[in-house]
Structure 1
Amino acid sequence: MDSLLTFRSEFPILDRSTYLVSNSLGAMPRATADRLAEYAEVWATRGVRAWADAWWELPVRVGDVIAPLVGAAPNEIAMVANVSVAHAAVLSALDFSGGRDTVVMTALDFPSVRYAVEGMAARMGARVVVVPAAEDGLSVDEDALCAAIDDRTRLVAISHVLFRSAYVMDAARVVRHAHDAGALVMLDAYHSVGVLPVDVRALGCDFLAGGVLKWLCGGPGGCFLYAAPDVEARAGAPVRPALTGWQAHERPFAFEDAMSHAAGAWRWLSGTPSVPALYAALEGPRLVHAAGIAEVRAKSERQTARLIALADARGYPVHAPRDPARRGGTVAFDVPQGYEVAQELIARDIVIDYRPGAGIRVAPHFYTSDEELEAAVAAIDEILATGAWQRHAGRRAVVT
C-alpha cells in the first residue's frame, strides 16, 4: 500500500491527467486557489494597509516555510524573483580582488544560471572556469571539478542535481574541498529540494538557491536563497549584495540616501516583491513537508528504477544514472521520433516533457501511482506501433 497516494486528492490536475512533469512544473495544490483568493480579498478590502498586515514580511515568512526542507533556521531564507537573480545577487556581494578572481562552474549547469554568472563575472573583472561534462555526458567528474578549484577561486557555483540527467553531485565533497582551498560554494538546488533530502548544515554550503516551481509545487515566481550565517567569516569580508533594493534596508521607511543592509535573510531582498507569487508558494512546500521527504525520496528511487527497467526491456537508451544514490527524480530515455512521441503523449493528457539530447523526461512525484508509469510507457509502445506520432511530424514548437 502506497500511503503517499492519500495526497492525490490535494492536486486537482490528477483527476484529469497523468501528470509526470513535476521536474518542470509541479502540480498545483487545491488549497493554492484559496491562498490566491485570500490575496485578492486582502487587496480588495485592506488596500495599502495590506503591507503592514502581512505583505511586507512575506518574502521571509515564506522562506521560513521552506526552511525545514533544507535544514535551515527561521530568518535564513529569502524569497527572490528567480534563480538567476539569486546568483547575480550573490556574485554582487563578493569581492573578486586580491587574487581571488575566479568562479568555477560546470558544463552541465542550467544555462540560465550560466548566463547570469558569466554576465556578472565579466562586469566585475572576474573569470569563469567551466569544468566539462564527463565522457558519459550525464555527469561531471568530481575529481576534475575539485582540481579546478584553486587559490584563485572565490566561488564555486554548481548544481546539486544536474537538470538534464538528474545526476546527483557529491556536493558535500565539493564543499569540503572548496573550503580547504579558501573558496565559497553556492548550490543550485532547483532539482533537488522537494524530491530528496537536503540539509544545508550537513552539506556545509555557503549559499543555496532553488525554487518552488518544480518539486515543491509552489508555482512560478518563487525562488529561495539561503546564506549561511557564518559566510562572512569564511569570505573574510562583508557580504553585502550590490544587487539590492529598499526591502533589504534595515530602515526601509526612513528613505535614507545611503544603503544600510538589514541582517539575516532580509539582506538578500531587493525591491517590491511579487506578492501573488508568494501566496501561491505557500501550500506546496507544506504538503511536501507533511508527506515526509524521506518517504518522498524512497518512493522516487523505487519509481525511477521501475522506469529504467521498462526502458531497458524495450531497448531505449536511458539518460539517467543507474545508481539510485546518484539519481534525482527524473528519468530520460530516447525513443524513435522522440519529440513527436512526446507531443502525442501530451495530446493524450499524459504530461511529460522532451529535451534534445536527453529524450522524453518522466518525473513521477509522491502523488504518482505505479499504474500511471506503466500506462505511460504502454502508450509510447502504442504510439510507435500505430504511427500515431506522425500527426506531429514537421511541427517543431518551443520545448517547454
Structure 2
Amino acid sequence: MTPDQGATDPLLRWRGEFPILAETNYLISNSLGAAPAAAAGSLQDYHRTWATRGVRAWEETWWTMSAELGDRLAPLLGAGPGEVVFQPSVTIAHAVVLSGLEYRPARDGIVTDAMHFPSILYLLDGLRHEGARVRVVPSRDGIEVETSRLVEAIDERTAAVCLSHVLFKSSYVHEVEEIAAKARRVGALTVVDGYQAVGTIPVDVRALGVDVYIGGCLKWLCGGPGAAFVWVAPELRARLRPRLTGWMAHRSPFAFEPGLDRREDAWRFLHGTPSIPSLYAAAPGIEIVRRAEAEAIRAKSIRQTSRLVELADARGFPCTTPRDPGRRGGTVAIDVEHGYEVSRSLKALDILCDYRPGAGIRLSPHFYTRDDELEKAIDAVEEILRTGTWRAFAEGRSTVT
C-alpha cells in the first residue's frame, strides 16, 4: 500500500492477509474473493484432524461444523446463535427451502424477476412440474427491477417471493423491506439470495422482514467454493418440512431408522453429509470480514464504487450500474465496445475482473483494495481500446482466459 493511503484507510491493514494482492490488481471479489493466507493453515488442520483422529473426527469436530460455522457467520446477518446452518451451494439451499412448500391452486404462485441469478431461475422453472405458477417480472433497462412492479405481482395466491438482495449483473440493491412487507401481508414467504450482499453491505434479516436468507462464502466473504448458508426465521421452521432432506435432519441420525424423525431446529434444513473441507476453508474469511466490520466495508465500497463511476464517466464509458450509492452494491459494470476481449486483456495485465453479457466488464473493489488500483484499471481499459490490443484476444492469439 502507499504510505499515505495506509494512514487514512484502516481497512488496508488486512491487505497483507491476502497473498494474491502483492502482485495482482484484484477487482473480482464479486465472483471469487481473494484467498486469505490463513486458509492454508485451516485446510492443514482439516488434513491433520483426518490423519490423526480418523473416524473419531466426526464425533469430535466434523458433525457439528455446519452449525458451529453458522454461529460464526450469524452476526453478519443480524441472526442469533443456532439460526444459521451451512449448505453446499446457494442453489441447493433454495431447493431445500422450496421443497418445503406445496403448490396447490389456492397458493401456487412464485414471484421472481428476470435479473435473478440464472441458477435459481432454472430451479424455479423446474417447480412448474410440481404445480407452481412462476411469474418472472422483467427489467425495463437491464439495471434494475422496479419495486412497484414486483409488489404488484405479489397476490393472495403467491406462495413465495424469490429475489436477489443485490443483482449479480448490475449490482442493483432491491428494496427488500417493501417487497417483503407486501409478501407478509398476503401470507407469502420471502426468500432472498444474499450472495452479492453479505460481506460488502450490512445485512439485518429481521430489519429486512424476510423469512429466508441464503448466501455463500465464495465471493465477498473470501471463503472459497462449497460453503453456502441458510437462515430461516425460527418461527417459520415448523411450517416447512423439506422433501429434499437427509440423515443430518434426523433427531437420532445414528439410529439409522427407515423413517425421518425431523429435528425442530435449524438442522431440519440439513440433508446429506456436508463438504467438510469447504467449511474449513471458509472460516478464516468469515473471521476477517467480521473483524473488518460491515459498516466500515460498506462506507469504503460506496466511496470506491463512486470513484469508479466518476472515472468511467470522464472517459465516456457507459455504466450499467445504479447511480444512487444507496441502491448500488459493491460492483461497477462498464459496457465498453469489445468488452469481453478487453476483460481478457485486463487479466493478461494482472488486473482481474470479469465480463457478463448485458452488463459489460464488472469491477469490484473490496475492503483490501487501494484507491490507485481503481485508476490503474480504468486507465488500462482506455489504453487497451486506444491501442487495439484487445484484438489479440478476439483473433485467438492468446491463451489467457
Deviations 1:147-180 (A, max 9, x none): 1100100100111111110000000111111100
* Cα offset, 1:97, TM superposition: 2.5
1:124 equivalenced with 2:125 (yes/no): no
- The amino acid across from 2:367 in the alignment is F
- The amino acid across from 1:6 in the alignment is R
Alpha carbons 1:354, 1:399 under 8 Å: kept: no
- The amino acid across from 2:66 in the alignment is P
* Cα offset, 1:399, TM superposition: 12
Alpha carbons 2:170, 2:359 under 8 Å: kept: yes
Q: Distance in 2 between matches of 1:9 and 1:291?
A: 13
Deviations 1:300-344 (A, max 9, x none): 000000000000001111010000000000000022221111111
* Cα offset, 1:395, TM superposition: 3.8
Q: Secondary structure at the match of 1:283?
A: helix
Alpha carbons 1:355, 1:399 under 8 Å: kept: no
Q: Tell me which stretches of 4 or more aligned residues in structure 1 moved more than 3 Å.
A: 394-400
TM-score by length of 1: 0.96
Q: Distance in 1 between matches of 2:298 and 2:225?
A: 23
Q: Secondary structure at the match of 1:282?
A: helix
Residues 197 and 397 of structure 1: CA distance in aligned 2, closer, same or farther (over 3 Å): farther
1:146 equivalenced with 2:151 (yes/no): yes
* Cα offset, 1:397, TM superposition: 11
Q: Distance in 2 between matches of 1:396 and 1:291?
A: 42
Alpha carbons 2:166, 2:196 under 8 Å: kept: yes
* Cα offset, 1:95, TM superposition: 2.5
The aligned residue for residue 31 of structure 1 is 38
- The amino acid across from 1:144 in the alignment is R
The aligned residue for residue 347 of structure 1 is 348
Q: Distance in 2 between matches of 1:352 and 1:74?
A: 36
**Which of 107, 118, 123 does residue 111 from structure 1 map onto?**
118
The aligned residue for residue 366 of structure 1 is 367
Q: Secondary structure at the match of 1:281?
A: helix
The aligned residue for residue 304 of structure 1 is 305
Q: Distance in 1 between matches of 2:359 and 2:258?
A: 51
Residues 396 and 365 of structure 1: CA distance in aligned 2, closer, same or farther (over 3 Å): farther
Counterparts in 2 of 1:1-400, with a 5 A limit?
1-97=8-104, 99-119=106-126, 121-133=127-139, 135-232=140-237, 238-395=239-396
Q: Secondary structure at the match of 2:239?
A: coil
- The amino acid across from 2:70 in the alignment is G
Q: Distance in 2 between matches of 1:126 and 1:338?
A: 38
Q: Distance in 2 between matches of 1:274 and 1:385?
A: 47
Alpha carbons 1:87, 1:117 under 8 Å: kept: no
TM-score by length of 2: 0.96
Alpha carbons 2:344, 2:400 under 8 Å: kept: no
Q: Distance in 2 between matches of 1:54 and 1:34?
A: 16
Q: Report the identity percentage.
A: 54
* Cα offset, 1:68, TM superposition: 0.4
Alpha carbons 2:392, 2:398 under 8 Å: kept: no
Q: Secondary structure at the match of 1:230?
A: helix
Which runs of no fewer than 5 residues in structure 2 stay unpaired?
1-7
Deviations 1:39-93 (A, max 9, x none): 0011111110000110000111111111000001111111111111111111111
Q: Distance in 2 between matches of 1:249 and 1:36?
A: 28
262-271 or 193-202, which moves further after superposition? 262-271
- The amino acid across from 2:59 in the alignment is A
- The amino acid across from 1:125 in the alignment is G
* Cα offset, 1:116, TM superposition: 1.2
- The amino acid across from 1:300 in the alignment is S
Which runs of no fewer than 5 residues in structure 1 stay unpaired?
none
The aligned residue for residue 5 of structure 2 is none
- The amino acid across from 1:390 in the alignment is R
- The amino acid across from 1:213 in the alignment is L
Residues 326 and 100 of structure 1: CA distance in aligned 2, closer, same or farther (over 3 Å): same
Say what the alpha-carbon RMSD is for the aligned residues.
Answer: 1.6
